[in-house]
Chains A and B, each alone.
Chain A
Amino acid sequence: MNLNDFEGGNEVGDFLRRWENPTPNADAKARLMAALAAETNGQTTKAQSFRVSKGSLWLLLTAQIRFVHPATWIASLLAMLCGVLVTLTLHDGGTPFFVWVAPIVTALGIAFLYGDDTGEVLEIQLATPISPRVLMLGRLALIFAFDLCLAVLASVILALAQSEISLVPLILSWFVPMTFLSGLAFALSMWLFDPLASVFVSLSLWGLFVARSTVASPLWDVTGLPNFLAVEMYPFILALAAVTVAAGWWLAGREGWILHG
């Protein structure tokens, strides 16, 4: 709060400013520390029960926001925006370009949530009784929810701007692979704890999916590789997504001993 918010605040602020802060007294501070030391020596070392406030899960979730690098939010926003702009500019029927962008943007964001550079923060968080699984899933949910909202908004814009694009099929076409790639990035991060490795695998797999869906080649007949982005494959892909998230969930429970072992 700033007194300048109020009319005539500058005048009052200038007046109040004349009363400066007292200079801390080193002796008084030392007495405080001594009193605290005496108090701690007198206390038992029994840990107090962990109190969870009402709505604490929501608070914990929002507390995870600070551990997500701001670049992650900005990069997602810019990438989705580019996807929309390219689609609006170059779409001439067929699969909108945005469908190729949205899933991988989310997967990359999730891949970079976990890694050596977040290790110190993670170690602190793992020192709390809050399950590491909850913490990890919380971060996953944050990024996924953010990108999901962006992608839905982008889809609405595209459906309104391009009459040949229908909203629900558009959403389904990116939502299904988005869930799978996000789950995969999550599981890989919990396993490898290396965002670049997770990115590499996710990008490679996505590249393969897109190529299979868009490029005609005898290679597909030879290998028997199905088109994972076909509508009939959606239930299978969603099931795979559930499996990858479950795998990541299980792996996250091991994170504690990975770091401390």
Chain B
Amino acid sequence: MNDEMLAFRLQQGDKTAINALAERHYDALLGYLYRLMDADRALAEDVLQETFLRVMRNIGLYTYPRPFKAWLYAIATNLARNHYKSGYVRLTQSIDDEIGGDESLDADLLSREAAREVREVLGGLPPQQREVIILAYYQAMRSQEIGEILDIPAGTVRSRLSIGIARVRALMKEKSE
């Protein structure tokens, strides 16, 4: 059963549908929010939980058979943005906590260091470009889908993506120098 049918069933009172939707989208949405929230895992999990609760409370606003995934990610993005705007205090959580394993393993250390570099580069982007790059690359979404999530035209998505990638490349070059 596809997402739209599950969302429709949820709308009709089938409470088990939200569990199926949560199971299906949990991992990917966590990855998205985790990167969006600057590797703050606890916050990403909180926002993720709030996202699904909002889906349940506002399921009446969903219009079948529009793509459910775009609606879900739009809710998640808006909740994440609320945190940016509120100027939440970033935890100085080390990315070491996220990429697990024995600290003594060199491969693990390299992996953490590489992830930290990427995080810093993405952190150097404006939120609008960061959102688009994360959705395009890590979530493998197309311009139109991203546009639906962020409520912007597909052309604007491509423009932000292009500028964002150029900025990433410039930041990569700065780091290598």
Contacts and interface: CB of A to CB of B under 8 A. Distances in A.
Contacts of B5: 124, 128
Nearest to A11: B169
A243 to B, nearest CB: 32
Given A1-B142, A15-B121, A23-B100, A47 B13 contact: yes
A9 interface: yes
B168 A12 contact: yes
Given A19-B118, A45-B13, A32 B26 contact: yes
Interface in B18-49: 18-19, 22, 26-27, 30-31, 34-35, 41, 44-45, 48-49
B115 interface: yes
B71 to A, nearest CB: 11
Contact of A28 (B45, B140, B165): B45
A157 interface: no
A49 B60 contact: yes
B48 A51 contact: no
B136 A1 contact: yes
Given A3-B137, A24-B27, A53-B63, A9 B56 contact: no
A127 interface: yes
B74 to A, nearest CB: 15
B72 interface: no
A127 B63 contact: no
A29 B115 contact: no
B64 interface: yes
B60 to A, nearest CB: 4
A3 B136 contact: yes
Contacts of A45: 13, 15
Interface residues of A, number: 46
A15 B143 CA distance: 21
Interface in A1-58: 1-3, 6, 8-9, 11-13, 15-16, 18-25, 28-29, 31-33, 35-36, 39-40, 43, 45-53, 56
B12 interface: yes
B111 A50 contact: no
Contact of A43 (B27, B49, B56): B56
B166 to A, nearest CB: 9
A40 B18 contact: yes
B87 interface: no
Interface in B123-177: 133, 136-138, 140-143, 146, 161-162, 165, 168-169, 172
A8 B169 CA distance: 9
A16 B133 contact: yes
A215 interface: no
A48 B19 CA distance: 18
A32 B52 contact: yes
Nearest to A45: B13
10 contacts: A19-B35, A25-B45, A31-B45, A35-B53, A45-B13, A45-B15, A51-B11, A52-B63, A56-B64, A63-B4
